[in-house]
Structure 1
């Protein structure tokens, strides 16, 4: 009476043990001497777009395996005919992948509430209020042209009209020179310094030179910037904390690495065909 249950149990074990024994090193196919493993298949699937990765299991399996078989066959050809450029590119690709994988794992952590609060206070220190400015400007190519605009304004000229007609900054010019609200650090230094030193409602009496040309500025208003609520920028702060941690780790690991630079090489050698890629 017990024979059939025992046989059934043995048969079930025989069926499930091979599946249970499968791991990332399980070989699913061989192309000459190249092994394609289950781990490689799984890694390939992880890199697929969601719509393709959700295909029926057998259909996706066949598609990926066929692709990997073709790839393996062609890779043997590529390896047999590899050029110096190919070999160098393979080293770079491997190095870039491993570095990226390490950084990705490093960034996979959840900052504590204390860390998030500290990042918020660093970004918006209570003892250092930030001023925002609302200003218009007219950008001219020469100092003489800027002085001419200032003279016209002194005689009652309309700032918005002159901005529309004369400003080479066509983006703001079409809006009467309006730059909207901004903080000093968002503008080039010369412009930001000039605005910070102006009185509300005043217009610059001398042109302000920057890398873009000569500015005539009108300061409409200023206000103390109100920091956003922590809850509204929590996700952005988390990303910043992660970036800071990754950057700190890069600096640490690089500083600890033994780096030996070969002296005496001429950088101009990179302008020569050292990889033999030029057509002969």
Structure 2
């Protein structure tokens, strides 16, 4: 950096002292906070260092962190300057990976920042919830018994007019038996697959043939079904925004990789465990 003039004549000094104080610009990322043998450490370096601290350290008071971070950067600079100027291969490769990772992350942030307008979120909402939730809820009752023979006999009794709830109270071994076999409302994924498949095949008012699950044999009555009510837009806004951004990133990555010329040469005798061999990096 050019050196400033280090002396003034007496007249010039008096004149200078009478001038209004010069305005000092507000600190910015390029503001120099320290120099180590002419190597500048800037406020930007400190901001990035603080942002990448583990969470437990970020809770420390700002004045403590400021001094600690500045001391660390000064010490690191002194250590780097103590070297002979050569860069170990391992460090060089690490820096290449870090640069690639940071620039890729910044590209992702740019892609995500370009989507998520109110119009896009509302369109995503309407597409997902155009027909209610798009998910069916079922209200069913069942009678659980130990054997297929017993389940078949119960199905015949029901076909001949036996009351489902009373039969469940009398014969079901499941915890819902005393309540007439009622299971209430449930959605896909709430029941074991065999039970769920049988329920989804029924129309309201129908009773299934015997269905075997890990718990025994069931006779299932579908009482009713409905579309789950759609949530309010504000309830799912964040969820929709995350999905919009995720889809945008995936689409852009797919497009970029499809357009890129990518080569994966076949390397003889290369085994996956070679990734553990740090000796290949040399010094």
Q: TM-score range by the shorter chain?
A: 0.5 to 0.7
Consecutive unaligned residues of structure 2, counting only runs of 5 or more, are 1-11, 158-166
Q: How does 1:1-280 map to 2 (within 5 A)?
A: 7-8=16-17, 10=19, 12-13=21-22, 16=24, 23-24=29-30, 26=32, 28-30=34-36, 36-47=41-52, 52=58, 55-57=61-63, 59-71=64-76, 91-109=96-114, 111-126=116-131, 130-135=135-140, 147=148, 150=151, 154=155, 156=167, 158=169, 162-164=173-175, 178=183, 180-183=185-188, 192-200=196-204, 204-207=208-211, 216=218, 218=220, 219-263=222-266, 265=268, 268-270=271-273, 273-276=276-279
Give the whole-Å Cα distance in 1 for the aligned partners of 2:243 and 2:96. Answer: 31
**TM-align CA RMSD:** 5.1
Change beyond 3 A, Cα 1:112–1:199? same
Deviation at 1:134, TM superposition (A): 3.3
Deviation at 1:136, TM superposition (A): 6.6
Q: Is the Cα–Cα contact under 8 Å of residues 206 and 216 in structure 1 kept in the other structure? A: yes
Map Cα deviations across residues 68-102 of structure 1 (whole Å, 9 max, x no partner): 34555677999989686x76665444433332222
Q: Is the Cα–Cα contact under 8 Å of residues 121 and 237 in structure 2 kept in the other structure? A: yes
Q: Secondary structure at the match of 1:119?
A: helix
Equivalent residue number for residue 173 of structure 1: none
Bigger drift between 130-139 and 257-266 goes to 130-139
Q: Is the Cα–Cα contact under 8 Å of residues 31 and 42 in structure 2 kept in the other structure? A: yes
Deviation at 1:260, TM superposition (A): 0.6
Change beyond 3 A, Cα 1:220–1:64? farther
Give the whole-Å Cα distance in 2 for the aligned partners of 1:109 and 1:159. Answer: 63
Change beyond 3 A, Cα 1:34–1:160? farther
Q: Is the Cα–Cα contact under 8 Å of residues 137 and 215 in structure 1 kept in the other structure? A: no
Change beyond 3 A, Cα 1:6–1:74? closer
Give the whole-Å Cα distance in 2 for the aligned partners of 1:159 and 1:66. Answer: 79
* TM-score when normalising by structure 1: 0.62
Q: Is the Cα–Cα contact under 8 Å of residues 140 and 224 in structure 2 kept in the other structure? A: yes
Give the whole-Å Cα distance in 2 for the aligned partners of 1:226 and 1:22. Answer: 51
Map Cα deviations across residues 26-81 of structure 1 (whole Å, 9 max, x no partner): 47243x89764432112123345599478355x43211112334555677999989
* TM-score when normalising by structure 2: 0.61
Q: Is the Cα–Cα contact under 8 Å of residues 53 and 60 in structure 1 kept in the other structure? A: no
Give the whole-Å Cα distance in 2 for the aligned partners of 1:198 and 1:43. Answer: 60
Q: Is the Cα–Cα contact under 8 Å of residues 45 and 53 in structure 1 kept in the other structure? A: no
Change beyond 3 A, Cα 1:4–1:255? same
Consecutive unaligned residues of structure 1, counting only runs of 5 or more, are 166-175
Matched residue count:
252
Give the whole-Å Cα distance in 2 for the aligned partners of 1:76 and 1:161. Answer: 81
Q: Secondary structure at the match of 2:246?
A: helix
